[in-house]
């Protein structure tokens, strides 16, 4: 994912202020969650790179988790990117998935 920025220099894909508010203004707690997200998501993304027809169902489950956890930290852009490949994996067989995957994996 590109490191896009808004005109005021903030990350366009992550709403940090909203995340901190969600954690009752506790910046330290939010940053701890962010570190945990980064560590766990990195390994999840690695695990879905080798999607095959045999592990397509597991791929859909993993990408669904990435979508939810991304949205929970207010990384809505990443959460939105996970939706189409998740739906494609659930909608049909592997050939359908490969033809309708926007490149998330």
Q: Each residue of 76-98: pLDDT tens digit? A: 888 888 888 888 888 877 887 87
Token couple for 40? 């766990």
Look at residue 8 and tell me whether its pLDDT is greater than 70: no
Q: How confident is the model at residue 101 (pLDDT cuts 50, 70, 90)?
A: low
Q: What angle do CA 29, 7, 76 make, to 5 degrees?
A: 45
Other beta carbons less than 10 A from residue 20's beta carbon: 17
Q: Where are the domains of the chain?
A: 16-100
Place of tokens 């095959």: 52
pLDDT higher at 95 or 75: 75
Report, as an integer, the average pLDDT of 48-60. Answer: 86
- 30 pLDDT band, cuts 50/70/90, is very high
């Amino acid at each position: 994912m590109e490191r896009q920025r808004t005109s005021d220099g903030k990350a366009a894909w992550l709403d940090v202020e909203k995340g901190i508010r969600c954690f009752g203004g506790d910046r330290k707690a939010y940053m701890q969650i962010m570190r945990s997200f980064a560590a766990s998501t990195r390994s999840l993304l690695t695990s879905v790179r080798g999607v095959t027809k045999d592990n397509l169902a597991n791929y859909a489950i993993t990408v669904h988790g990435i979508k939810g956890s991304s949205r929970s930290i207010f990384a809505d852009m990443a959460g939105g990117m996970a939706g189409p490949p998740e739906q494609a994996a659930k909608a049909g067989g592997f050939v359908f998935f490969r033809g309708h995957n926007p490149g998330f994996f």
